[in-house]
Amino acid sequence: MTDALTRAPRLETERLILRGPERRDAAPIMRFLMDPVRSEGFGHIPERGEAWRWFALLVGHWHIHGFGYFVIETRDTGQTAGISGIWYPETWPEPELGWVVFDGFEGRGIAYEAASRARLWAYHELGLQTLTSNIVPGNDRSKTLATRLGAVYERTYMNENMGEDELWRHPAPQALAVRHSEGTT
Amino acid sequence: MSFPARATIETARLILRQPVPRDVDAAVAFYVSERAQYSGGNVPMSHAFRNFASILGHWQIRGFGLWAITTRDSDAILGLAGPYYPHGWPETEIGYVLFDGAEGHGFATEAARATITDARSRLGWGEIVHYISPENARSIAVAERLGATLDPQAATPGHGKPCLVYRQPKPEAVS
CATH classification of the domain holding A53: 3.40.630.30
Q: Is A135 on the interface with B (CB under 8 A)?
A: no
Which residue of A lies nearest to B90 if distances are taken between CA atoms? A49
Domain of A119 in residue numbering reads as 11-181
CA A24 – CA A76 distance, rounded (Å): 18
What lies within 8 Å, CB to CB, of A78 at 6+ separation is none
Angle at A179 between CA A173 and CA A183, to 5 degrees: 140
Note whether residue A102 is domain-resident: yes
Residues in A closer than 8 angstroms to B89, CB to CB, are: 49
Residue A4 lies in a domain: no
Domain count for chain A, please give it: 1
Residue A6 inside a domain? The answer is no
A157: helix, strand or coil: strand
User: Which residues in B lie closer than 8 A to residue A59 (C-beta atoms)?
Assistant: 53, 56-57, 60-61
Candidate from A1, A64, A161 with C-beta closest to B56: A64
Residue A5: inside a domain, yes or no?
no
Q: Is the ipTM of this complex over 0.95?
A: no
Put simply, the answer to whether B60 touches A6 (Cβ < 8 Å) is yes
- The answer to whether A88 contacts chain B (CB < 8 Å) is no
Residue A20 lies in a domain: yes
The structure's pTM equals 0.93
For residue A28, give how far its alpha carbon lies from the nearest alpha carbon of chain B (Å): 14
| DSSP secondary structure letters along A59-122 | HHHHHHHS--EEEEEETTT--EEEEEEEE--TT-SS-EEEEEE-TT-TTSSHHHHHHHHHHHHH
Integer Cα distance of A97 and A83 in angstroms: 11
Query: Among positive and negative, which fits the CA dihedral B37, B83, B166, B15?
Result: positive
**B45-62 vs B24-32: helix axis angle to the nearest 10?**
120
Give domain status of residue A2, yes or no: no
Helix-then-strand count for chain A, H and E: 5, 8
> What tens-digit pLDDT sequence spans chain A (185 residues)?
568 999 999 999 999 999 999 999 999 999 999 999 999 889 999 999 999 999 999 999 999 999 999 999 999 999 999 999 999 999 999 999 999 999 999 999 999 999 999 999 999 999 999 999 999 999 999 999 999 999 999 999 999 888 999 999 999 999 998 887 776 55
Q: Domain for residue A145, yes or no?
A: yes
* Residue B138 pLDDT: 95
Domain B8-125 sits in CATH at 3.40.630.30
- Assess if residue A41 is contained within a domain: yes
Closest residue on chain B to A4 (Cα): B60
